[in-house]
Amino acid sequence: MLHLQPLVDRKAGATLPVALTPKLNDVRVLRVIYGPHGAPEYFSAPYVERFLATEWEIHFNSSRTGVRLIGPKPEWTRQDGGEAGLHPSNIHDNPYAIGAIDFTGDMPVILGPDGPSLGGFVCPVTIIEADLWQIGQLKAGDKVRFVPVDITTARAAALARNAETATLEAHADSAPLAASDASTKPTLASPVVLNIGADRERLVARLSGDTHLLLEIGPAELDLVLRFRGHALMQSLEALDLPGVIDLTPGIRSLQIHYQPERLPLATLLATVESAWQRVLLQQDLRVPSRVVHLPLSWDDPACRLAIDKYMTTVRKDAPWCPSNLEFIRRINDLDSIDAVKRIVFDASYLVMGLGDVYLGAPVATPLDPRHRLVTTKYNPARTWTAENSVGIGGAYLCVYGMEGPGGYQFVGRTLQMWNRFRQTADFAGRPYLLRFFDQIRFYKVSAKELLQIRADFPLGRYPLRIEETELSLADYQTFLDREATEIDRFRTQQQAAFQAERQRWHEAGSVEETIDPPAADDAGITPLEDGQVAVDSEIAGNLWQVRVNPGETVAAGDVLLVIESMKMEISVAAPCAGTVDEVYVAPGSPVRAGQRVVVIGRA
């Protein structure tokens, strides 16, 4: 819903100065800050240079959530993401800045204003604030290049852009760059601007654009101590009420600060963070409020199976996790059966480590008991469609998708709503989102039919949840881990062996070399029209999702002939006239370009 202010000025015909409506170049050039993740930790140095030298093509499956890019396959400097997932792009979920270029597997995606605030993939560069507006001007088939700049240049451009908005007078620093401006080889400074301490007491600060600072805590491991300390650091910074801080977003072992550099200079912010971190390290027995929230789960829900079918049709039909995500989870964790997967999911108590993982209050959670931590990898490339409130596992984490959209976690089922914007009920306690940091999710079984009724009733307050208040103590949790250490180590050893065996199967099958470049549309077999025939052409580029008709069938004007998936939408192609279908030139899963003939109708 778009809320509009009352109309005050009724004058019409006003136009912007020509200088404020610049021509969009054939190759858009977007300025970026190098980081937060780069070479040699994740990418090879030659690949970073190639990334910045490439004219990337905009993929047809793009939208306000994310703009997918077509270009050279990345060169990784590590084999996998460990507990975060099998693919080297996988990391423990951390916060994202708008405009970060996020490698979801091997495919880079520009994260848009409706994109996730949290996720588990690396981002080598981030578009500067002054150039974010250009993301909205990109369409399928456009070309784009990225040019690194320093913070000083980025902030000068942002201030110029703000001045333009206030005065409606053009400013040279905010003008879009041309491809010729990106001809020189860039010099890249490290995105790491603070690195103190060691092991569990280490704190690293990375630039994530010109308005975000990403703090990483301790080693790249799933360790509840790190999450507790990240929470304590967030609370310490909140208590300072720093001028210029817009928001603080915690991840699994990270904390992102969104700030205004003109009100809070980077050097001042770094000094404040370092001081706050030293105070956090002095705290011993950390305790946080917690709730046990019982949620219904429709196991292997039909909506999840539909998303898998769509993925196999329009994205990647031979992925190792298809056609059954549950079988993939079983295999990669060396379990005896899918029922064993099911028992673990329903026995586990999932601790909410972050919110907003894939939009709108979606939780990222991990089992408190390490023996319940099923490890998987994420889709590569990611899905273009996921049903709202699907439940999936990626790396060692479980997520409930807050809204319909793309995704990459392996499905286990579906639950009820995580977000309730327009109607407040008791379970939401005055917030639009259901869950809180350090809640513990416990699932109970319901059928797919029962879940549909629950989903209809819950937003209206007709399906109250069972929620138990409790407290979580880090010292008590550590005692539990020490007591169960032998069994936990045995489980992890078995799991790691299965993990490595799955990666070897990928290598032997060539799955790790899966290309992300879309195949070309095929015009073979298309013949000239005969008298009385009408051609039906696609008006957009995309992948064919469904063909609704066959040759010989009779159609009426306006009947849907086929459905194309493009720009994260399903777009119907309708019959322009009544008649008989003479030819269908495309099949589900095939690429379609704008202007391509897809159907021929013999006019009635």
* Residue 3 belongs to some domain of the structure: no
Q: What is the number of domains present in the chain?
A: 4
Per-residue pLDDT band at 344 (split at 50, 70, 90)? very high
- Among the candidates 283, 299, 317, a domain finishes at 283
Do 323 and 430 fall within a single domain?
yes
* Residue 221 belongs to some domain of the structure: yes
Lowest-confidence region among 166-180, 469-483, 576-590: 166-180
Do 155 and 201 fall within a single domain?
no
In the predicted model, is pLDDT for residue 191 greater than 80?
yes
Do 80 and 178 fall within a single domain?
yes
Amino acid at 563: V
Place of tokens 């999911």: 345
Mean pLDDT along residues 311-334: 91
The continuous run of DSSP H or E covering 193 comes out as: strand 192-196
Q: Any idea what the CATH number is for the domain that residue 198 is in? A: 3.30.1360.40
Smallest Cα–Cα separation from 580: which of 562, 557, 596, 598? 557
- Cβ of 543: how many Cβ atoms within 10 Å? 22
Query: How many residues does this entry show for the chain?
Result: 604
* Residue 431 belongs to some domain of the structure: yes
Do 327 and 416 fall within a single domain?
yes
**Sheet holding 554-555: strands in order across?**
533-537, 597-603, 579-584, 554-555
Q: Any idea what the CATH number is for the domain that residue 546 is in? A: 2.40.50.100
* Residue 138 belongs to some domain of the structure: yes
Mean pLDDT along residues 124-134: 95
Do 183 and 82 fall within a single domain?
yes
In the predicted model, is pLDDT for residue 20 greater than 90?
no
Per-residue pLDDT band at 523 (split at 50, 70, 90)? low
* Residue 6 belongs to some domain of the structure: no
The continuous run of DSSP H or E covering 212 comes out as: strand 212-217
Alpha carbon distance 265, 242 (integer Å): 11
Alpha carbon distance 402, 434 (integer Å): 10
Alpha carbon distance 215, 273 (integer Å): 9
Do 125 and 86 fall within a single domain?
yes
pTM: 0.80
- Among the candidates 136, 168, 189, a domain finishes at 189
Do 251 and 113 fall within a single domain?
no
SS3 annotation, 142-190: CEEEEEECCHHHHHHHHHHHHHHHHHCCCCHHHCCECHHHHCCCCCCCC
* Residue 4 belongs to some domain of the structure: no
Do 305 and 415 fall within a single domain?
yes
pLDDT for the residue 358: 60
Q: Any idea what the CATH number is for the domain that residue 131 is in? A: 2.40.100.10
Do 267 and 406 fall within a single domain?
no
Per-residue pLDDT band at 224 (split at 50, 70, 90)? confident
Cis ω for the linkage preceding 363 (within 30 of 0): no
Taking a C-beta distance cutoff of 8 angstroms, is the pair 146, 30 a contact? yes
In terms of residue numbers, what domain contains 422? 288-512
Do 258 and 357 fall within a single domain?
no
pLDDT for the residue 124: 96
Q: Cα–Cα–Cα angle for 158, 125, 241, nearest 5°? A: 55
- Among the candidates 189, 213, 232, a domain finishes at 189
13: Cβ–Cβ under 8 A, 6 or more apart, which residues? none
DSSP-H helix ranges across 484-556 = 485-509
Alpha carbon distance 432, 421 (integer Å): 5
In tens, the pLDDT along 79-112 reads 888 888 778 998 998 999 999 999 988 999 999 9
Alpha carbon distance 450, 463 (integer Å): 12
Strand-pair partners of 30? 146
In tens, the pLDDT along 526-554 reads 778 888 899 999 887 788 888 999 999 99
Provide the 8-state DSSP code for 72.
P
pLDDT for the residue 357: 62
Taking a C-beta distance cutoff of 8 angstroms, is the pair 428, 401 a contact? no
Mean pLDDT of the chain: 89
Do 457 and 562 fall within a single domain?
no
Please spell the DSSP secondary structure of 13-67, one letter per residue: -----GGGSPPPPSEEEEEEEE-SS-TTTTB-HHHHHHHHH--EEEPSS--SSEE
CA quadruple 504, 509, 515, 518: dihedral sign? negative
In the predicted model, is pLDDT for residue 560 greater than 90?
yes
Task: Provide the greatest CA pair distance for the chain.
Answer: 85
* Residue 357 belongs to some domain of the structure: yes
* Residue 14 belongs to some domain of the structure: no
If one compares 596 and 212, the residue with the highest pLDDT of the two is 212
Q: Cα–Cα–Cα angle for 542, 543, 547, nearest 5°? A: 120
Do 35 and 111 fall within a single domain?
yes
